[in-house]
């Protein structure tokens, strides 16, 4: 019966139906229905997502999806953000660009995260894809402004150039002048990561002036406050704006210019930047505050009273990023003013100081959880926590989908009872049934992992540090968390047993990172030998793991499923455990 139905629709009809299915997960599900759907789907998939660039080879992707227009690739593991992945580990995009340059002259969009992008890659992109429209580089490195110049010069249809959180070799600000005078299609430009040297203001101004469709503009720190008015004057249609440095001698003309031009931006919904903020200039943004849905003040080193004033002007705020200068008092105001708040991130102003420098505690998080009914995503750095607070938070906010708590001092106990925080985090996973991402901190025993394994059925990503007592902890997670895709662990006493007992689980996940744990070289070899569809990488800067006894723990372990087999671009300090010899040196 079903077979008949499949044949009764011409392929074009099914293709048309599939064109409404955008999400990757759904597309993958569609392709698994039957062979003919697999075939139709693969010919009409336009956006390809590869969560781990080493899980599959460029050629395999090209073979399966002959007509995609957009690709998203992710490279290094998440812990690379915190310097845990040594430089040179991998994640090179060039082989992908090279393969696609030949196969896909019509490629339009490339989105990369945590990959190494060279100027050569950028130049190849500029040369190969005539209709190239979107380049988003998130937390990437390896390129300079020369590569950007190549993109600017050649990509006539470029709509989006977004360099969020990248490390760019800032050789010259004049790369912006490489956009030809005839070029007007820019819709989104994010150069906030570029260096603080002199920027080519006039080129920037002219660019903004002629690109009348510009909706997003995120400037870098080099752009001084008094230049902003000139730039914004040409772009009253902006929806998202990131200032440069927000400090200047307090001058009434600069202020009124700025306030005037900002108030003419009627579409503005998102503000960011605010480096080196001088509080005197903050009121200039008050006219736009009532429409703001997103505010990133995470570089704004202003104190609580100024933050409170600002936040109370923004009743429609959905997303707030802020430093802990906001303090508990500021978060209480936030809780009462911003009832639409969905996402909150509070960053530490002094992460390495021994003593708290601000009055920000668990109370702030409790206040926001109680007061903001739509809150679903939180990243919170603080210095103390209690089980009681966590239980209150969990009970009042069961709609959390992302909960990341970082208590700055490792292994900090409940400050009220001196007990571990197992019960508190247990409440989070028990009440928040849709929780997809969780980061743990504080003093935690194997118990918390039992709770996680029992309740966190939708959990996809878990980050663990300085927690647990034994392999039982890891076993709870690997055997209980059905939806787990990414697990990253550092400095926990997890060894071989849980890993080997749950080896099959690893094939159902994207990746597992374990550093400074207790997994022996012998176990890594065994895993590599017995699990051909896993790449088991041992990262150890101390030297070859076979120069130490087999039962010695490895420094870092990165395991990921792959149908591409072991990679060959590894640096000297990475070894892949595989079937043949158990050890392959690069």
Partner 1 sequence: MELQLGLSLPSTPIFPFKMLDLNSYGYELREGLGPFGINVNNNCDSCSSSCSSSSSGGADDGGGGTKKRRLFDEENRIVPKTLPLLFWTNQRPNDEDEPKDVDDHSSSAIFKNDGEGLVGWPPVKAWRKKVRRRVANVRAAVENSCGGRASSSTYVKVKMEGNAIARKIDISLHHSFESLTTTLMRMFDISDENGQKSFKLTYLDREGDWLLAEDVPWRTFIGSLKCIKLIRSRC
Binders of partner 1 among residues 40 to 99 (CB under 8 A) are 79, 81-84
List 65, 104, 132, 381, residue binding partner 1 (CB under 8 A): 381
Q: Which stretch binds partner 1 (CB under 8 A): 46-54, 101-109, 392-400, 498-506?
A: 498-506
Enter the DSSP assignment of 584. Answer: B
Asked whether position 317 contacts partner 1 by CB under 8 A, the answer is: no
Question: Which residues contact residue 98 at a Cβ distance below 8 angstroms, ignoring those fewer than 6 apart?
Answer: 58, 124
Q: Closest approach of Cβ 221 to partner 1, in Å? A: 9
Distance CA 526, CA 506 (A): 14
Nearest distance from C-beta of residue 552 to partner 1, angstroms: 5
Binding range to partner 1, per CB under 8 A, among 69-77, 87-95, 260-268, 297-305: 297-305
Q: Which is nearer to partner 1, 215 or 556 (CB)?
A: 556
From the CB of 508, what's the least distance to partner 1, in Å?
Answer: 8
For residues 239 to 278, the per-residue mask of contacts with partner 1, x marking binding by CB under 8 A and - elsewhere, is ------------------------------------x---
Rg (CA), the chain: 25
419 contributes a contact to partner 1 by CB under 8 A: no
Residue partners of 249: CB distance under 8 A and separation at least 6:
none
Q: Residue 350 CB, nearest distance to partner 1 (Å)? A: 7
| Part in contact with partner 1 (CB under 8 A); list of ranges 4-12, 43-51, 310-318, 489-497 | 489-497
Helix or strand holding residue 145 (H, E): helix 145-154
What is the per-residue DSSP string for 169-236? E---GGGGGGS-TT-----EEE-TTS-SS---HHHHHHHHHH-TT--EEE--TTS-HHHHHHHHHT-T
User: Shortest Cβ distance from residue 477 to partner 1 (Å)?
Assistant: 12
Q: Any idea which residue has 């089980």 for tokens? A: 387
Binding-site member from 11, 15, 267, 350 for partner 1 (CB under 8 A): 350
Q: How far is the CB of 173 from partner 1 (least distance, A)?
A: 18
Q: Does 525 sit near partner 1 (CB under 8 A)?
A: no
Which residue, 126 or 477, is less far from partner 1 as judged by CB?
A: 477
Task: Please state, in angstroms and rounded to a whole number, the distance separating the CA atoms of residues 245 and 292.
Answer: 20
Which residues fall within 8 angstroms of residue 133, CB to CB, at 6 or more apart?
108, 109, 155, 157, 158, 159, 160
Whole-number Å distance between alpha carbons of 577 and 62: 27
Longest dimension (CA), the chain: 78
66 close to 43: Cβ distance less than 8 angstroms: yes
Task: Give the per-residue SS3 of 466-533.
Answer: CCCCCHHHHHHHHHHCCCCCEEEEECCCCCHHHHHHCHHHHCCCCEEEEECCCCEHHHHHHHHHHCCC
List the one residue from 111, 159, 505, 567 that touches partner 1 (CB under 8 A): 505
Applying CB under 8 A, among 75, 273, 330, 480 the residue interacting with partner 1 is 480
At residue 494's C-alpha, the angle toward residues 482 and 351, to 5°, is 95
DSSP state string for 254-321: HHHHHHHHHHT-TT--EEE--BT--GGGGGGGHHHHTT-SEEEETT----HHHHHHHHTT-TT--EEE
| β-bridge pairing 47-50 and 294-297 | unpaired
Stretch that binds partner 1, among 29-37, 41-49, 368-376, 475-483 (CB under 8 A): 475-483
Question: Distance between CA 276 and CA 302 in Å, rounded?
Answer: 8
Query: Of 69 and 74, which CB lies nearer to partner 1 in the complex structure?
Result: 74
Q: Which of 347, 359, 569, 582 binds partner 1 (CB under 8 A)?
A: 347
- Is residue 501 close enough to count as binding partner 1 by CB under 8 A? yes
Least separation in angstroms between CB 309 and partner 1: 21
- The answer to the question of residue 138 lying near partner 1 (CB under 8 A) is no
Q: State the minimum distance, in angstroms, from the CB of residue 260 to partner 1.
A: 29
Report the run of H or E that residue 362 belongs to, with start and end.
helix 362-371
- Pick the stretch among 210-218, 236-244, 341-349, 419-427 that binds partner 1 (CB under 8 A): 341-349
Measuring CA to CA, which residue among 77, 136, 131, 75 is closest to residue 108?
A: 131
Stretch that binds partner 1, among 55-63, 69-77, 353-361, 570-578 (CB under 8 A): 353-361
For helices 225-233 and 252-263, angle between their N-to-C axes, nearest 10 degrees: 30
Site for partner 1 in 187-206 (CB under 8 A): 193
# residues contacting partner 1 (CB under 8 A) = 74
CB of 404 to partner 1, least distance (A): 9
Stretch that binds partner 1, among 57-65, 67-75, 390-398, 522-530 (CB under 8 A): 522-530
Q: Which of 77, 242, 364, 453 binds partner 1 (CB under 8 A)?
A: 453
> Taking CB under 8 A as the rule, does residue 144 contact partner 1?
no
Does 543 bind partner 1 (CB under 8 A)? Our answer is no
Among the listed ranges 27-35, 367-375, 389-397, 496-504, the one in contact with partner 1 (CB under 8 A) is 496-504
Least Cβ distance, residue 279 to partner 1 (angstroms): 15
Q: From the CB of 550, what's the least distance to partner 1, in Å?
A: 8
Answer for which of 29, 530, 579, 586 binds partner 1 (CB under 8 A) is: 530
Q: Which is nearer to partner 1, 17 or 504 (CB)?
A: 504
Residues 384, 421 contacting (CB under 8 angstroms):
no
Q: Does residue 582 belong to the site contacting partner 1 (CB under 8 A)?
A: no
């Amino acid at each position: 019966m079903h077979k008949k139905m499949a044949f009764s629709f011409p392929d074009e009809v099914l293709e048309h139906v599939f064109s409404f299915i955008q999400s990757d997960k759904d597309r993958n599900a569609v392709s698994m229905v039957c062979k003919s759907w697999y075939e139709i789907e693969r010919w009409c998939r336009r956006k390809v997502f590869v969560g781990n660039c080493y899980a599959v080879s460029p050629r395999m992707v090209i073979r399966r999806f002959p007509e995609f227009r957009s690709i998203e690739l992710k490279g290094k593991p998440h812990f690379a953000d915190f310097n845990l992945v040594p430089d040179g580990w991998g994640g090179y995009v060039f082989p992908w660009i090279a393969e696609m340059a030949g196969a896909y002259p019509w490629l339009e969009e490339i989105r990369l995260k945590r990959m190494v992008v060279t100027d050569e890659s950028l130049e190849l992109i500029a040369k190969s894809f005539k209709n190239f429209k979107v380049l988003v580089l998130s937390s990437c490195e390896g390129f300079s402004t020369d590569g950007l110049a190549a993109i600017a010069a050649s990509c006539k249809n470029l709509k989006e150039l977004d360099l969020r959180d990248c490390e760019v070799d800032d050789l010259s600000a004049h790369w912006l002048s490489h956009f030809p005078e005839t070029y007007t299609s820019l819709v989104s430009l994010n150069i906030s990561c570029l260096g603080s040297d002199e920027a080519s203001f006039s080129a920037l101004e002219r660019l903004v002036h002629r690109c009348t469709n510009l909706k997003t503009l995120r400037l870098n720190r080099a752009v001084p406050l008094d230049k902003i008015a000139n730039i914004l004057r040409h772009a009253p249609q902006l929806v998202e704006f990131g200032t440069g440095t927000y400090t200047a001698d307090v001058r009434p003309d600069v202020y009124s210019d700025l306030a005037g031009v900002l108030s003419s931006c009627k579409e503005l919904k998102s503000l960011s930047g605010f480096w080196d903020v001088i509080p005197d200039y903050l009121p200039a943004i008050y006219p736009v505050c009532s429409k703001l849905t997103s505010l990133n003040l995470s570089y704004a080193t202003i104190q609580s009273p100024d933050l409170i004033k600002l936040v109370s002007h923004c009743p429609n705020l959905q997303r707030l990023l802020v430093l802990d200068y906001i303090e508990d008092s500021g978060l209480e105001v936030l809780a009462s003013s911003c009832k639409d708040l969905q996402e909150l991130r509070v960053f530490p102003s002094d992460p390495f100081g021994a003593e708290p420098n601000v009055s920000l505690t668990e109370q702030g998080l409790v206040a926001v959880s109680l007061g903001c009914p739509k809150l679903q995503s939180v990243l919170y750095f603080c210095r103390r926590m209690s089980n009681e607070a966590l239980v209150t938070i969990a009970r009042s906010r069961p709609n959390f989908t992302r909960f990341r708590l970082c208590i700055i001092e490792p292994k900090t106990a409940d400050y009220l009872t001196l007990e571990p925080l197992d019960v508190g985090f247990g409440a989070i996973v028990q009440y928040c049934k849709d929780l997809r991402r969780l980061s743990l901190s504080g003093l935690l025993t194997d118990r918390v992992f039992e709770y996680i394994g029992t309740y966190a059925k939708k959990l996809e990503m878990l980050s663990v540090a300085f927690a647990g007592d034994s392999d039982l902890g890891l076993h709870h997670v690997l055997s209980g968390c059905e939806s787990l895709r990414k697990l990253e662990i550092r400095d926990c006493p997890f060894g071989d047993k849980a890993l080997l007992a749950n080896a099959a689980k690893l094939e159902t996940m994207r990746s597992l990172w374990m550093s400074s744990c207790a997994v022996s070289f012998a176990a890594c070899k065994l895993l590599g030998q017995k699990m051909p569809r896993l790449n088991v990488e041992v990262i150890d800067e101390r030297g070859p793991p076979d120069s130490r006894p087999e039962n010695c723990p490895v420094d870092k372990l990165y395991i990921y499923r792959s149908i591409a087999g072991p990679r060959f671009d590894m640096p000297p300090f990475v070894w892949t455990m595989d079937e043949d010899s158990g050890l392959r040196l690069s």
